[in-house]
Amino acid sequence: MTLNQLRYFSAASRCHNVSKAAKELFVTQPTISNAVRELENEFSITLFYRNGSHLELTSEGEKFLEKANYILHYCLSMEAEYKDNSRIKPPVRIGIPPMLSTIFFPELWDAFCREYPDIPVVLEEYGSVRACDLVQSDFLDLALVNMEMFNIDKFNNTVLFNSQLYYCVSHSHPMAGQTSVRMEQFDNEKVLLFNGDSVQTHLLMTRFDAMQLHPHIVMRSSQLHTVMKFVHQSQCGCFLFKEMLPQFPECAGLPLDPPININVGMVWKKGKYVTEEMQKFISFTKAYY
């Protein structure tokens, strides 16, 4: 028996429904169902009568809930007591890729800090792939990422907004006057890419390989400032979210043909207990976007 199992069971009892409990706790439905099943197997009892998706406590379940709530209340009281006595509260650790941290995140972070000045937030800049690995290993609590990853279903996740990749070049670049860029034009084109832990780079290389295109990759970098300096001062181009273009008026942004659409979202580890601070950040960020 674990505290997480008791929390999930208590939420299912309160909501009378697994999906509602999962939504409340920001976990998946199987996480709730498995926790209840494991408790039933461990103690050889039946906790719920099940009528479709509706749950009702059995007499055994009612007694078990009373004891479970006592344990949870005691633990919460203990946690609150020691948190109140602590001078340093543990921060919410958030991973974020360079492009998101530069353009999208500062306003969100500022708004969250105004709303919850008592919740410390620590940002760690990583590409989406690396950030997800660190969430899985508990080094990070959450990550804002490019959702076009092959293994995104391994995580609890929510989409925050949709975007599209544009090709960004200086106004002196030969392509600058075009209304769009066909993928075939990237054969031998000088391009700048982000590092290998970037999902964007993986998507682009997959598209190039599928079309047997061979762009001239001048540099791979994790620094947006460096990439944009190259774009501005040379005949290279890079790929940015379309929402970023107003930040770089010295460059021309061209949509791709066919387009590459992107979902940007937030991920956190399946089965991980979502603290009150994490819940507030998740809810605030979803509402913000």
Confidence label for 88 from pLDDT (cuts 50, 70 and 90): low
Q: How far apart are CA 76 and CA 69, in angstroms?
A: 10
Per domain, the residue ranges of the chain are 3-85, 92-161+264-288, 163-261
- Residue 113 CA: distances (Å) to CA of 119, 120, 121, 159, 280: 7, 8, 8, 22, 11
Q: Half-sphere exposure (CA, 13 Å, Cβ side) for 107?
A: 5
- Output the CATH code of domain 3-85: 1.10.10.10
Angle at CA of residue 276, ends 74 and 85, nearest 5°: 60
Confidence label for 85 from pLDDT (cuts 50, 70 and 90): low
Confidence label for 182 from pLDDT (cuts 50, 70 and 90): very high
Q: Is the dihedral of CA 127, 130, 135, 141 positive or negative?
A: negative
Q: What is the pLDDT of residues 213-250, one digit of tens each?
A: 999 999 998 888 888 899 988 889 999 999 889 989 99
Q: Is the pLDDT of residue 23 over 80?
A: yes
Q: Which of 78, 90, 75, 77 is nearest to 4 (CA)?
A: 75
What is the full DSSP assignment across the chain?
A: --HHHHHHHHHHHHHTSHHHHHHHHTS-HHHHHHHHHHHHHHHT---EEEETTEEEE-HHHHHHHHHHHHHHHHHHHHHHHHHHH-SSPPPEEEEE-HHIIIIIHHHHHHHHHHH-TTS-EEEEE--HHHHHHHHHTTS-SEEEEES--TTGGGEEEEEEEEEEEEEEEETTSTTTT-S-EEGGGGTT-EEEEE-TT-HHHHHHHHHHHHTT---EEEEEES-HHHHHHHHHHSS-EEEEEGGGGGG-TTEEEEEEES--EEEEEEEEETT----HHHHHHHHHHHHH-
CATH superfamily membership of 92-161+264-288: Periplasmic binding protein-like II (3.40.190.10)
Which token pair is 227? 């990439």
- Pick one of 3.50.50.60, 1.10.600.10, 3.40.190.290, 3.30.70.1250 as the CATH number of 163-261: 3.40.190.290
Q: Is the dihedral of CA 13, 17, 19, 20 positive or negative?
A: negative
pTM of the model: 0.68
Q: How far apart are CA 266 and CA 71, in angstroms?
A: 31
Are both 92-161+264-288 and 163-261 of the same fold? yes
Average pLDDT over residues 36-57: 92
pLDDT of residue 57: 93
Q: How far apart are CA 146 and CA 161, in angstroms?
A: 10
pLDDT of residue 74: 80
